[in-house]
Amino acid sequence: MKKLIVVLAVLIGAMTVNAQLYGLWRYDEDIDPITDENTSAISRLSTTWPHDYKNSGLVVRCGTASYHSSGVEVYFAAGTDLGSDFFYDFVYRVDKHEPVSLRGSASVSEDAIFFREKDIPDLITALIDGSNFVFRTEDAEGDEITYELPLTGFDEALQALGCYKEPPAIDSSLTP
């Protein structure tokens, strides 16, 4: 019996070797051993969700495609079917700042919304500076669904991810 417990402990430890926690943000390293493509990600499950959509949350993943000038792609996994549209409207809010209404791309599985590349820098800045994130969209039946998650540890997790590229600062002496 003792040997079984030791073996189980070693197996569980081996399965989680690439996962680290920063606050409640999980960092999962994923680098292809042949191509060195980095698709590592940080993620955080929602703490407030509608119905039983417990497997919902925000994901920031290294993006290697040339159109990922920020170095990352960001999506919200809703944990439920969002319908068969190619794009979904959604609103997010960080702390008590003004809500931001956007449109994002549907995932192939129709249960996640990808932020557009042009919206990622403002989102990341807000997440770094914020303490609470609220996300709202509609499910496949058209019912409004709202999620919430704390941002504690996001900045550290993003630094551990290492692939986010901040947009270049604009030199104010060059603008009229």
| Predicted confidence (pLDDT) per residue in 94-139, tens digit | 999 999 999 999 899 889 999 999 999 999 999 999 999 999 999 8
Provide the CA 64 distance to its chain's centre, in angstroms: 16
Of 89, 35, 100, 102, the closest CA to residue 64 belongs to: 35
Residue 99's contacts (CB-CB under 8 Å, 6 or more residues apart) are: 91, 92, 93
CATH of domain 19-165: 2.60.40.1880
Q: Tell me the two tokens of residue 115.
A: 């932020």
Q: What confidence score (pLDDT) does residue 65 get?
A: 65
Q: What confidence score (pLDDT) does residue 101 get?
A: 97
In the predicted structure, residue 62 carries a pLDDT above the cut 90: yes
Instruction: Please give the helix or strand (H or E) that residue 157 lies within, else none.
Output: helix 154-161
Q: What confidence score (pLDDT) does residue 161 get?
A: 92
Domain assignments of the chain as residue spans, ordered by start: 19-165
| Predicted confidence (pLDDT) per residue in 43-52, tens digit | 999 988 766 6
Assess contact for 26 and 43: CB atoms under 8 A: yes
Determine what percent of the chain is predicted with pLDDT higher than 90: 54
Q: What confidence score (pLDDT) does residue 83 get?
A: 87
What's the whole-number mean pLDDT along residues 59-81? 84
Q: How far apart are the first and last CA of the chain?
A: 76
Residues 84-87: contacts with CB under 8 Å, at least 24 apart? 84/110, 84/140
